[in-house]
Amino acid sequence: MERLAWRLRSTFGKMTRGAHHMMQRYLKWLAGRERSFIHLIRIAIFIVMAWIGGLKFVPYEAESIVPLIANSPVMEFFYAKPAPEYKMYMNKEGELVPENRAWHQENRTYIFANVLGTVIIAIGILVLLGLFSPTLGFIGALLAAAMSCVTLSFLITTPEAWVSHFPYLSGGGRLVVKDVIMLSGALVCLSSSAQELLKEHRYEGARFGAGTAAAGVPASNTAPLPAARTAATPEQ
């Protein structure tokens, strides 16, 4: 019995060590995939923005954002009609009421949505181009983060975002609060692009220094020291 117990303990120990070794290999593989996962975030942001931006050209989607825009103190001027007049002209998704559509046309609902959709798609493309250009990726991620902050502000300004009060979000409010994830992803991409830009800057600086040395120009002669110029001023 003792020998059997020893064998069981030995077998269990080997299995445990094998599982631990496999887990270590898996963790190391995941740790080395950070860059790939950041690229995946860029692609995901592009898909969401291109899809949502494209839907802004469809009337039902253009109409659905009217409460958000009309109640926003920084965006309400885009519409011709003041809030809460829109409440009498809201269509259900997919519904066509000619009178309501006419009101939205007068309100500039569709014109604004088309412009907004174009901007959203453009930002998504800039974020995606971060796969190839850190400068474009930086600009795109910065704009995506700013756009997410504006979207999240609708939780404060839009009455329809709540069923009654905090924390009871309505369907529209639940869609808006998800931009916390979009904001986080944009900030991750922004940080990644900033790191790549810094690497390029260091590389260019090192290459410039190497070129100066190859030309026989001492590094001390490439630029006068500010302290030296300051010290020489009183003597002159």
78-120 pLDDT, tens digit per residue, is: 999 999 999 999 988 878 888 999 999 999 999 999 999 999 9
pTM (two decimals): 0.79
pLDDT band at 218 (very low <50, low <70, confident <90, very high): low
pLDDT at residue 216, as a whole number: 59
Extract long-range pairs of 78-87: CB within 8 Å, 24+ residues apart: 78/108, 78/112, 79/107, 79/108, 79/109, 79/112, 80/106, 80/107, 80/108, 81/106, 81/107
pLDDT at residue 79, as a whole number: 96
pLDDT band at 23 (very low <50, low <70, confident <90, very high): confident
Judged by average pLDDT, the poorest of 67-76, 102-111, 128-137, 214-223 is 214-223
For residues 164 and 192, the answer to whether their CB atoms sit within 8 Å is no
Closest C-alpha to 183, from 140, 139, 143, 148: 148
Judged by average pLDDT, the poorest of 115-124, 130-139, 142-151, 220-229 is 220-229
